[in-house]
Chains A and B, each alone.
Chain A
Amino acid sequence: MSDVAPTLATLPRGLDAAQAGRARFLRALSGTPVALIGAALVGVVVLVAAAAPALAPYAPAAQIAKPLLPPGPQYLLGTDEFGRDELSRLIWGARVSLYVGGLAVLIALGLGATAGVLAGYFGGWVDDVTMRIMDVVLALPALVLAIAITSVLGPTLTNAMLAIGLVYAPTFARVARGPTLTVVRVPYIEAARSLGASNWRTIARHVLPNVAAPILVQATVSFSTAILTEAALSFLGLGTQPPTASWGLMLSAARQYMLIDPWIAVLPGSAIALTVLGFNLLGDGLRDLLDPRMRAL
């Protein structure tokens, strides 16, 4: 548990500058095949989730056919144990995954990055207290803590989201604190302060732009972890509740019937894996672009 928060020796210039820089960044991104595949996968999932009402052939909770039908012309991917259309449930499941994953990452980012920037900026006891609290959270395996939190708050989709957000906040705190520590020693911060800029203004104008890149990378990677954790919690019955279509929940139900009808176990798992793969590849690609020192990993 040593301090391994990455410090940016070379600050990413691509994000500071305005239009020109952004164009250059996009061009570089499109030159990275790995990131491109990731972006494509993520794009597909986002589109599917957004267009779920139009794409899904049936209502996700409607029991409309014989249970456990194999894939066929009428129900393209077959039906589940209640005779609900598998394809429609997978499509609506994308919404749940992205919704829970996205809000959980926002919670983690909001709490964690704020704590990390403040800790790095003010230093001293603020730093000590904040980071020690984060260390306590990190002393528990993430999923175990998330299980404990949802068990106390009650197993609902919102609580699962909150639990995931809380559990991953320390990661963001570490990622944000490192570059902040480096930036506050830079002379232009001292200059800004001596010109009478308030702490608030200094952080917003000078610190945040410099820590944005590693936080962005972390957010992308965390998205995949958050989706995995939501699936795990729902799988255990502690997240999304039936009859809402969630991939983790679908896998959990499939356990009873997987030997009769393997399809209902293979499909939701593939959906999770492809989505997570997309965010992982995109995160890897972004890291290569924004933080060249991490490229070896």
Chain B
Amino acid sequence: MRYLARRAIWTVLALLGVSVLIFLLVRLLPGNIVDIIAGTEGQLSKAQRTAVLREFGLDKPLPVQYVLWLGNMLQGNFGWSFRTGQPVASLIASRLPITIELALLAVLGVTVVGIPLGVAASVSRSLRVRTLVQIIGVLGLSMPNFWIAILLIIGASMLFGWLPAIIYVSPWADPWVNLQQMFLPVLSLAFGLSAVVVRMTRSSMLEVLGQDFIRVARAKGLSSRRVLLRHTLRNALVPIVTVIGLQTGFLLGGVVITEQIFGLPGLGWTLLNGVYQRDYPVVQGTVMIFAVTFVLINLLVDLLYTYLDPRIRYE
């Protein structure tokens, strides 16, 4: 419990640090923020400038601005888009589910494909299987996921004459069309991730397989299937989960590009559009949500350890 409390406090502090970083970053903007808000370069009178600054609270000293911004954010107010005037919070709330669906499906795909492949590679004596796994591992790490996405689109169109629908359909409206749309993006994200997971599963399984209690389990006459799944995999899971957790950063980064390529209006798409339109409240808000997600997933992975391996007790 003490560990948990410390961990939670540290998580909050890290997020505070991130908020300071994001706040300062946007204040570093070259050029005048008034021109960006008004969308006019140097065509406002002095009085108009002051009015715009006051309206957005930009005439106050920096620390005051920061505290106001943070306070508003804690109350769920992320400000208003410079471009559309829409509240950023509701924009994020409508876009976040798409990103969550994409990321969850990718992790699911990686788990369903990567772990069995890694297990197979660990017990296989066939040189072909081991080489195959090694090749997948190395390729997955080296091919940029946006290139994989492009190749998948080309492949789907040339081989099957099929392309995913361009306008996003939510799973509540039509789950089947939605899954079709998600298929290629998920595949492109999962490919790189599985490479790491397959490699880690294999080496972690091999390490556990060499231990005495596995020999005991075999000697007891347990079926090799039971030994493999109940005794070996269970004990090999901690490093595998760690590696999946560590990859979340890459996954969240990959989501930005994948959403852009496939036209999925998720959080990454929103971030990029904010960047392209210099809509800084949107940029600040989405980056903050990315940080919160990232930090929470890391916390979750930490908690998962105690469940997977009861010997791990945080003190």
A residues whose Cβ falls under 8 Å from a Cβ of B: 1-2, 132-133, 135-137, 139-145, 147-149, 151-154, 224, 228, 231-232, 235-238, 251, 254-255, 258-259, 262, 265-266, 269, 272-274, 276-277, 280-281, 296-297
Q: Is the CB of A251 within 8 A of B272?
A: no
Q: Is the CB of B283 within 8 A of A151?
A: yes
User: How many Å lie between the Cα of A273 and that of B195 in the bound state?
Assistant: 14
User: How many Å lie between the Cα of A206 and that of B151 in the bound state?
Assistant: 50
Q: Is the CB of B154 within 8 A of A265?
A: yes
Q: A149-B25, A152-B25, A297-B203 are in contact. Are A144 and B287 (CB under 8 A)?
A: yes
Q: Is B158 an interface residue (CB 8 A)?
A: yes
Of B17, B21, B260, which is within 8 A of A236 by CB? B260
Chain A: CB-nearest residue to B284: A148
Report the tally of A-B residue pairs with Cβ distances under 8 A: 139
Q: A144-B256, A147-B272, A148-B25 are in contact. Are A280 and B142 (CB under 8 A)?
A: yes
Q: Is the CB of B287 within 8 A of A276?
A: no
On chain B, the residues within 8 Å of A272 by CB distance are 143-144, 147
Q: Is the CB of B146 within 8 A of A235?
A: yes
On chain B, the residues within 8 Å of A141 by CB distance are 248-250, 252-253, 290, 294
Q: Is B207 an interface residue (CB 8 A)?
A: yes
Quote the shortest CB–CB distance from B193 to chain A (angstroms). Answer: 14
Q: Is the CB of A251 within 8 A of B294?
A: no
Pairs A-B, 4 closest by C-beta atoms: A143-B253, A136-B17, A269-B147, A277-B142
Q: A139-B18, A142-B249, A143-B256 are in contact. Are A255 and B287 (CB under 8 A)?
A: no
On chain A, the residues within 8 Å of B271 by CB distance are 144, 147
Interface residues of B in 103-158 (CB under 8 A from A): 138-139, 141-144, 146-147, 150-151, 153-154, 157-158
Interface size counted on chain B using CB atoms at 8 A? 54
Q: Is B165 an interface residue (CB 8 A)?
A: no
On chain A, the residues within 8 Å of B25 by CB distance are 148-149, 152
Of B203, B275, B278, B298, which is within 8 A of A296 by CB? B203
Stretch of B26-34, B67-75, B173-181 on the interface side: B26-34
On chain B, the residues within 8 Å of A147 by CB distance are 256, 271-272, 275
Of B21, B26, B272, which is within 8 A of A136 by CB? B21
Q: A269-B143, A276-B142 are in contact. Are A148 and B283 (CB under 8 A)?
A: yes
User: How many Å lie between the Cα of A139 and that of B13 in the bound state?
Assistant: 11
Q: Is the CB of B272 within 8 A of A140?
A: no
Q: Is B214 an interface residue (CB 8 A)?
A: no
Q: Is the CB of A277 within 8 A of B146?
A: no
Interface residues of B in 249-298 (CB under 8 A from A): 249-250, 252-254, 256-257, 260-261, 271-272, 275-276, 278, 283, 287, 290-291, 294-295, 298
Chain B: CB-nearest residue to A265: B150
User: How many Å lie between the Cα of A182 and that of B14 in the bound state?
Assistant: 27
B residues whose Cβ falls under 8 Å from a Cβ of A: 13-15, 17-18, 21-22, 25-26, 28-30, 138-139, 141-144, 146-147, 150-151, 153-154, 157-158, 199-200, 203, 206-207, 248-250, 252-254, 256-257, 260-261, 271-272, 275-276, 278, 283, 287, 290-291, 294-295, 298, 302
Q: Is the CB of A265 within 8 A of B283?
A: no
Q: Is the CB of B30 within 8 A of A153?
A: yes
Chain A interface, DSSP helix/strand/loop, else mixed: helix
Q: Is the CB of B200 within 8 A of A140?
A: no
Q: Is the CB of B275 within 8 A of A238?
A: yes
User: How many Å lie between the Cα of A228 and that of B254 in the bound state?
Assistant: 11
Q: Is the CB of B14 within 8 A of A136?
A: yes
Q: A151-B283, A254-B150 are in contact. Are A297 and B199 (CB under 8 A)?
A: yes
User: How many Å lie between the Cα of A232 and that of B272 in the bound state?
Assistant: 12
Quote the shortest CB–CB distance from A14 to chain B (angstroms). Answer: 25
On chain B, the residues within 8 Å of A132 by CB distance are 13, 17
Q: Is the CB of A262 within 8 A of B26?
A: no
On chain B, the residues within 8 Å of A136 by CB distance are 14, 17-18, 21
User: How many Å lie between the Cα of A231 and that of B254 in the bound state?
Assistant: 13
User: How many Å lie between the Cα of A273 and that of B151 in the bound state?
Assistant: 13
Apart from the given pairs A139-B18, A269-B150, A280-B142, 15 other A-B contacts in the complex at a CB distance below 8 Å: A137-B21, A140-B18, A142-B253, A144-B287, A148-B25, A148-B283, A148-B287, A258-B154, A265-B151, A265-B154, A266-B151, A274-B142, A280-B138, A296-B203, A296-B206
Q: Is the CB of B257 within 8 A of A144?
A: no
Q: Is the CB of A297 within 8 A of B200?
A: yes
